Amino acid sequence: MSERLEDIAAAMVTPGQGILAADESSGTIKKRFDTIGLESTADTRRDYREMMFRAEDAMKNHISGVILYDETLRQKAADGTPLVDLIKAAGAVPGIKVDGGAKPLAGFAGETVTEGLDGLRERLAEYHGLGARFAKWRGVISISKDLPSWGAVKQNAQALARYAALCQEAGIVPIVEPEVLMDGQPGDHSIDRCYDVTEWVLKTVFAELYDARVSLEGMVLKPNMVIDGKNARKASREEVAEKTVRCLKATVPAAVPGIAFLSGGQSDEEATAHLSLMNAGFDMPWALTFSYGRALQAAGLKAWGGKPENVAAAQQAFAHRAKMNGLAAKGDWNKEREAA
């Protein structure tokens, strides 16, 4: 695999493939395991992720990259193979979540800033040595009639830009993820409010990336879709697709090789349908694909239930979701294929 940032970024947005977000923190994976009554231990976390990374059909045909958590990047499969090597063997790019999470932003009630810049240069050098070739940092933007504030947008955009510059210095492609929360409080904003805030946030992020001398050809954007709040849902799938594409065209330079959406509070099928409508209905200068966590994993996790005898069924469920999203990344998904 070429080590040029542009080539790694292009591989991450290979047509018809997308990025598996398997970077749940220890707290998040525990919540997921609670739903199937499984204790979260280093071994159960490893078994779960190994089950996905060995799902050959899904990994080889529909997954271009995998975002890992620090623990997983260092873990070995039950037979002693490093999990990173399983990902590489499937032809996918291993990546790593590097942010320290969203923390309350001092002086700004109800808003957060993502921490983790201290010591990041040294961590990135280590992660590169462990095989990671891309990284992820998520900025979280609260939305309501009064939020976000300019201060919160600006500080999150600056942190994203500093992180991105450090990644590129280390030979690692940054996934830049400014998420305008669909399911924030009170969650009653309209799709037009989401459009305005998302446009503002993306314009600010790209201004900061430019000022930080980040090479746009060597990054991937991971934005939210333009969608109404979780407690005010009425926009049609077509409206979500049209407004999201319009917003991206107004803000994202054509030099960016690809955009990989987060699923952010949407149901599995909804996230797939929206992506497919965008790819089927519009000409765009960048590849448009997915970087889903729960929307790719939920069905497989449920089918697995923590039992070794269910591994094949779980891999099949995961492969089905990966395939559906792979079709959506080409604009070829439909309800009939979903049911099949």
Angle at 228 between CA 223 and CA 234, to 5 degrees: 140
What's the rounded Cα separation, in Å, for the pair 160 and 158? 5
- Do residues 203 and 163 lie in contact, with contact meaning Cβ atoms separated by under 8 Å? no
The backbone torsions φ and ψ at residue 253, rounded to the nearest 5 degrees and listed phi first, read -60, 150
- Polymer length in residues for the chain: 340
In 3D, which of 221, 206, 201 has the Cα closest to residue 136? 221
In 3D, which of 223, 146, 235 has the Cα closest to residue 190? 235
In 3D, which of 176, 187, 177, 114 has the Cα closest to residue 147? 187
- Do residues 92 and 63 lie in contact, with contact meaning Cβ atoms separated by under 8 Å? yes
The residues carrying an active-site annotation are 177, 222
Residue 99, amino acid:
D
In 3D, which of 199, 276, 266 has the Cα closest to residue 238? 276
